[in-house]
Amino acid sequence: MVLKFIKETVFLLMTMVGTLGNISVSVNYMFSWGGGPEKKPIHLILIHVTFTNIIILLAKGLTNTMVTFGLRNFLDEIGCKILIYLTRVARGVSICTSGLLTVVQAIIISPRASGWRRLRPQSAWHILPFFSFFWILNALIGMNLIHSITSTSLNISQFKSESNCYFMLESQKIKWIVLSLMVLRDAVFQGAMGGTSGYMVFLLHKHHQHVLYLQNSKLLYRTPPELRAAQSVLLLMLCFVFFYWTDCAFSLFLSLSSVDNSLMVNIQEFMTLGYATFSPIVLIHRDQLLTECWHAQWEKLRKCLSPLSVQ
């Protein structure tokens, strides 16, 4: 009973904190992106990351929260198909967008003499076609879910349960095709993420050496905002890699294990929501723009209300 209460509380807190955090980050970046003189591609990508996080939290987090509170029959077959399909697609888009984020950030901080600079987006709007491609790609990869999900519990031995929704057993051919496409997608985008993250670490190390030289020379030097943003992106990617591979490890263990381990299942569910929950916290902690933007909006509101209070 105590474990059930803890599970309910943790799921509810993760869903609420993650959703509010992602909405806060998204709104702040929208203000800075829409109100600033320069439309930064990184801000647009981060807005898209928070959007996919919100979908994952609402589709999977809320479903799990309602199930843990005993509402097991609140979804019909169409609801099951929509929520699980959205979760799968949004998770894939999140992987692709995180890879794009590291690539674009690495291009932005690359030296002017580097060939990478020629790939730098000239406008934030040049990023939008990538978003469309990610959604179409992952929507096609997850198409098999539309035919393999149901909410009925009849003949339960033929189904694999997830909450109150069930996966019907698919043919091995379709299963391996979908699995191969998912592995190929993850390998390509995480390979790009790893390579560009290593490149950024190298550039940040060179910058650190340069700062130490200037400090020894008693010269004042400020870290450019692009490098501070690169540090934030690297922390975000570390958060992503930790939760992604932990989730994969638990999923692999559960698929190979013949014993029904409810504790491992619950931990795996928490890991699935981990990145969507904690990534906005990383951004809020690292990016001073968020607090500055809220302060600026509060000052505007206070100035608008001050004439009314005088009257």
Model confidence pLDDT, tens digit, residues 275-290: 999 998 888 877 665 5
Q: How far apart are CA 256 and CA 267, in angstroms?
A: 16
For residue 170, the SS3 value is coil
Q: For the domain bounded by 2-155+163-301, which CATH number is listed?
A: 1.20.1070.10
**CA 294/CA 16 separation, integer angstroms:** 20
Angle of helix 288-310 relative to helix 262-286, nearest 10 degrees, comes to 60
Residue 80 near residue 149 (C-beta atoms within 8 A): yes
Q: Is the pLDDT of residue 209 over 80?
A: no
Q: How many CB atoms lie within 10 A of CB 87?
A: 22
- Please state the length of the chain: 311
CA nearest to 17, candidates 299, 286, 310, 277: 277
**pLDDT, tens only, 30-61:** 877 666 656 678 888 999 999 999 999 988 87
Q: Residue 78, Cβ neighbours under 10 Å: how many? A: 10
How crowded is residue 80: how many other Cβ atoms within 10 Å of its Cβ? Answer: 22
Whether residue 184 has pLDDT greater than 90: yes
Q: Where are the domains of the chain?
A: 2-155+163-301
What is the pLDDT at residue 308? Answer: 47
Residue 112, phi then psi, degrees to nearest 5: -60, -30
Instruction: Report the pLDDT value the prediction gives residue 171, as an integer from 0 to 100.
Output: 73
Q: The tokens 């939290």 sit on which residue?
A: 57
Q: How far is Cα of residue 130 from the mean position of the Cα atoms in its chain? A: 16
What is each CA distance from 160 to 56, 142, 148, 153, 309, in whole angstroms?
Answer: 21, 17, 10, 10, 62
Hey, CA dihedral for 107, 110, 116, 118, is it positive or negative?
A: positive
Average pLDDT over residues 143-164: 58
- Considering the entire predicted model, what is its pTM? 0.82
| Share of residues in the chain with pLDDT > 90 (%) | 22
Nearest to 190 by CA among 96, 255, 81, 77: 96
Q: Report the pLDDT averaged over residues 253-274.
A: 78
pLDDT of residue 146: 77
